[in-house]
Amino acid sequence: MVQAQELLQEGRSTEAWSSFERVLREVPHHSVALKLGAVAAFQSGNKSQAVDLMDRAIALFPEDSEAHFNLGVLHQSTGRLDAALACFGRAAELAPDFTDAHYNVATALHELGRAEEAVMAYRRTLETNSRYAPAFAGLAFTLRGLDQLDEALSTYEKAVALAPQDAQALSGYGITLQLLDRLSEAAEALNRAAELDPHYTDAATNLADVLVQQDKPATAVEVCDRFLASNPGDSGILASKAIALGECGNTDAVAALVDFDRFVWPEYQDKSEGFADLAAFNKALHEHMLRHPTLVDAPASHATRQGKHTGELLGDEAAPIKAFQAMVTNAVVRYKERLGRDWSHPFVANALERWRLTAWSIVLQGGGGYQAPHIHPSAWLSGVYYARVPKVVDDPESGKAGWIEFGLPSEEFHWRHKPEIQAFRPEPGLLVLFPSYFFHRTIPYDGDDTRISIAFDVLPA
């Protein structure tokens, strides 16, 4: 048992999991081994085993608030937000002073789009610990989303006073100042946040945006370049730099950085291993998505509007998922080979040597559903595969409804120069790869046809 714990503390999760397995074969009802074994199983990629172990721990010790809390964390990390909320709530019931449980109730409610309830949950968290800075920051973030800006600002001030080195809270404070049109103060706060954490992308991107809003796009480019010097190839900053370059009128530099012809790669798949043909694969894939246990109304933090979202898909042993993962892996390898070497371009120069995939599904069922313009800031390369598309995509009179479009930045940024855009018509079997810093969106469509896509990211291993 001691060896298993030491291995876990050292970050050797796969070895720790094997060691905990041996302990549990000898002592199957060992509560600590069950709980820590679940952590080791999760960290080594055995998500379903982790949930099973935590369920066993709770069955044996139903009053263990920590076990309920940990099970909630497992559910939250795999997109099962309703299940996570129930677990955190139960942990808080069992231990009314369990600050982290109350806090996670609030974060889960916010993710589920239940902002008013999240506000009350954050306030309950602060009743258990009036100096818990993350709860002030979370409450402020939620109030900002509710457009209660003055209260959000005063709440952020409390968070920053309690945790003056917290770059994330300070960045949120700066954004709120920006929304209140106090731009000089916003720039000062965001600059401090960027100095506190030179690797915190959001601080730098928000600072660049304030500078653009102040009509200082050249200074915004300098901020981006300074951040890129220590965070080369960062997708969030490359997206902000493209906007700032456009505001400078440097269209050639924008075209080189956001080169659709060079970097957007649509590839039609004509077969899938283990299936009779592509139609059979797509049918199995879209049926699997529609009954996936993590499929919920898209959380508030996601780009999807009036649609549904799954949690993580990979690691699922279902045949269509395994085939999908193999398909995408091969496509990424081909994409990297096609890129070649180019040390002058930040995207190519920072291609990942070691990488892993993460994937999730977006289900739109008409009614004006869409994905707002967004990027994938934590990834290097992103992509989307279409398993099912609505008939409207083939209608030349529809204005490209249901298509994927690249180039248009999010309305959250203060851009004036309209960039070049390019759209692609989705069809079953189409896989599109693109740099993660490319803004992209789904053009809204009406009707009741279902559109099922699987999005994925290529992340550092």
pLDDT digit of tens for each residue in the chain (461 aa)? Answer: 667 677 667 777 787 767 877 877 777 787 788 888 888 888 877 778 888 888 988 998 999 999 999 999 999 887 788 999 999 999 999 999 999 999 999 999 998 889 999 999 999 999 999 999 999 999 999 999 999 999 999 999 999 999 999 999 999 999 999 999 999 999 999 999 999 999 999 999 999 999 999 999 999 999 999 999 999 999 999 999 999 999 999 999 999 999 999 999 999 998 788 898 999 999 999 999 999 988 877 766 676 677 888 888 987 888 999 999 999 999 999 999 999 999 999 999 999 999 999 999 999 887 777 788 999 999 999 999 999 999 999 998 888 999 999 999 998 999 999 899 999 999 999 999 999 999 999 998 887 788 999 999 999 98
Last residue within a domain, chosen from 173, 191, 208: 208
Q: Order of strands, edge to edge, in the sheet holding 369-374?
A: 304-305, 369-374, 440-445, 404-406, 422-424
- Residues 6 or more apart whose CB falls under 8 angstroms from that of 60 comprise 29, 31, 34
C-alpha–C-alpha distance, residues 72 and 57, integer Å: 13
Q: Does residue 342 sit in the same domain as residue 373?
A: yes
Q: Look up the CATH number of the domain holding residue 424.
A: 2.60.120.620
In terms of phi and psi (left: phi > 0; alpha: psi -120 to 50; beta: otherwise), the region of 429 is: left
Last residue within a domain, chosen from 190, 225, 255: 255
Last residue within a domain, chosen from 208, 243, 272: 208
Q: Does residue 314 sit in the same domain as residue 248?
A: no
Q: Does residue 199 sit in the same domain as residue 216?
A: no
The strand pairing partners of 363, in sequence order, are 308, 452
Q: Does residue 174 sit in the same domain as residue 226?
A: no
H-state helical runs in 264-353? 278-290, 319-339, 346-349
Q: Does residue 194 sit in the same domain as residue 218?
A: no
Q: Does residue 39 sit in the same domain as residue 175?
A: yes
Q: Does residue 249 sit in the same domain as residue 284?
A: no
Query: 188: domain range?
Result: 2-208
Q: Does residue 107 sit in the same domain as residue 213?
A: no
Q: Does residue 237 sit in the same domain as residue 150?
A: no
Q: Does residue 267 sit in the same domain as residue 342?
A: yes
Residue 410, Cβ density class (10 Å: 0-12 exposed, 13-18 middle, ≥19 buried)? middle
Q: Does residue 227 sit in the same domain as residue 180?
A: no
Q: How many domains does the chain have?
A: 3
Q: Does residue 370 sit in the same domain as residue 453?
A: yes
